[in-house]
Amino acid sequence: MKKSELMKHSCPLGKAMSALGSKWKPIIALVIKDRKLRFGELAVRIHVISRKVLTDQLREMETDGLIIREEFKEIPPRVEYSLTEKGLALLPILYMLEEWEAKYQNKELYPEKDCNLLDKEMRQQVKA
């Protein structure tokens, strides 16, 4: 189902899944957490995402009210991203999803591997 179709329905779960419909949005939210990060910092911390996809995901998250994009009129231009109240409220849910997966993962089908989406330092900060 397309995002626009999900948004037409009044189902809260449909709207929530529409806002988080990609694999990157939850990761971006976990990386930003309760601080402000610049685009370059996000790109380095999530080193496997292309800059185009990161840009697209950030725009969608801003439209969905999950992040705030703060633009500074400087040379060179500077933009910082932070989570909104709605985005911050999502963090405990994402932590619960991590715990759920860790508890119920099928280790025979999916041998436990270290998460390679984030650099080592970032994995430590996300878990903290």
Strands 67-72 and 78-83: antiparallel
Distance CA 58, CA 99 (A): 25
| Cα separation of the two ends of the chain | 35
> What backbone phi and psi angles, to 5 degrees, belong to 28?
-60, -45
Please report, in tens digits, the pLDDT of each residue of the chain (128 residues total): 455 565 555 678 877 887 787 889 999 999 999 999 999 999 999 999 999 999 999 999 999 999 999 999 989 889 999 999 999 999 999 999 888 888 887 766 655 555 555 545 554 555 55
Number of structural domains found in the chain: 1
The pTM assigned to this predicted structure is 0.75
Which CATH number do you get for residue 77? 1.10.10.10
With respect to residue 87, please indicate whether it lies within any of the assigned structural domains.
yes
Range of the domain at 73: 15-105
What value does the CA radius of gyration of the chain take, rounded to a whole number of Å? 16
With respect to residue 25, please indicate whether it lies within any of the assigned structural domains.
yes
